[in-house]
Structure 1
Amino acid sequence: MPKTHWEYTLYVPHDPRAVGICRRTLRDILTTHHLTDLLEPAELLASELVTNALRHTDGPAAMKIRQSGPAFRLGAWDTDPTPPTITTATPTNTSTSGRGLRLVNAYADDWGWFAVNGANGKYVWCELGTKPD
């Protein structure tokens, strides 16, 4: 029987190529754990969270994914302790920012954040329901 409790963390440098590396790693892990129904939403959400982590800081970041029973959680850690906020202005077709947390809020079953070790950064997470293949 497949193990339903697992966790992976991928630490990445402050490099825009890290977002694609996180997506490919996530795809491999979800495929290995027979969670292919989560591929598209999880890749979208991971892209948004890791992009935000890299866009709003100068330091490294990390993508963390875990499953505990039916709950699948993914998130991104960064070095900025500033709380994430959803912009109040609606992004236009030509806007280059302001969609990330709106997408997370729309696609995830739940999301939130917490400070990490005081002023040492934050972790923004979201959850998706699972239906194993």
Structure 2
Amino acid sequence: MSSNEQSTEPSNKPAHPVSYGVDYDVSYGDHPAPIPFTAPWVYEIHFPCDPRGPRIVRGTLRAVLHAHGIGEIAERAELLTCELATNSVRHTKGPVIVRMQWLCPVLRVSVWDASPDLPPFAPGAAMPDPAAPCGRGLPIVESLADRWGGCGSVDGPNGGPGGRTIWFELALGGDFRSPSPALAA
């Protein structure tokens, strides 16, 4: 075929390929390579004050952790995240934000809500009576998390009113190194 003849066969290449500055062509349905295990990542879930929210967050967290190959801490992370998200739904009236952050080898989960008050339970406090109808959530966090804490904030997400953040960390293996204090919330 000469250089000025047109081929009647279908072309495998699109007329105008889409480029997003990465090494794949979205027109073929290819996906980028997964990020490395040690690379940091963050996922956030925003949900209204709805009793179904903690269950949705728990399932999403499980899917994220297994997709990133850190399923060995999924069971503890699910339980602790569900406890904190449930506390937010039960004790506040506004939206809740759950943030999952991987800082290899540490997973940090933060739960923000619009309450201006930190919970009365402090790290190191005694476990409440097992027969009590409530009050066991934070002691469970205390006993299963490698580290945990909380802080209040004057400014909330997107410039809204402040609230509080309760967070916990789980480390893979025995290589736990505390992240920078600037990352505390």
Q: Secondary structure at the match of 2:139?
A: helix
Structure 2 CA distance for aligned equivalents of residues 85 and 44 of structure 1: 20
Tell me what 1:16 maps to.
Answer: 51
Q: Structure 2: which 5+ runs fail to align?
A: 1-35, 156-160, 174-185
**1:20-76 Cα distance to aligned partner (Å, 9 max, x none):** 000000001001100110111000000111011111101110111101121110121
Q: Secondary structure at the match of 1:90?
A: coil
- The structure whose residues are more often helix, as a share, is 1
Trace 1:112-127 onto structure 2 (pairs within 5 A). Answer: 112-117=149-154, 120-127=162-169
Q: Structure 1: which 5+ runs fail to align?
A: none
2:142 aligned to which of 97, 102, 105: 105
- The structure whose residues are more often strand, as a share, is 1
Q: Secondary structure at the match of 1:116?
A: strand
Q: Does 1:78 align with 2:120?
A: no
Q: How many residues align?
A: 130
Q: Secondary structure at the match of 1:121?
A: strand
Q: Secondary structure at the match of 2:154?
A: coil
Considering only aligned residues, what root-mean-square deviation do their CA atoms show, in Å?
Answer: 1.7
Larger Rg: 2
Tell me what 2:130 maps to.
Answer: 92
Instruction: Tell me the TM-score normalised to structure 2 length.
Output: 0.66
Structure 1 CA distance for aligned equivalents of residues 72 and 39 of structure 2: 15
Structure 1 CA distance for aligned equivalents of residues 38 and 63 of structure 2: 16
Tell me what 2:172 maps to.
Answer: 130
Trace 1:60-79 onto structure 2 (pairs within 5 A). Answer: 60-79=95-114
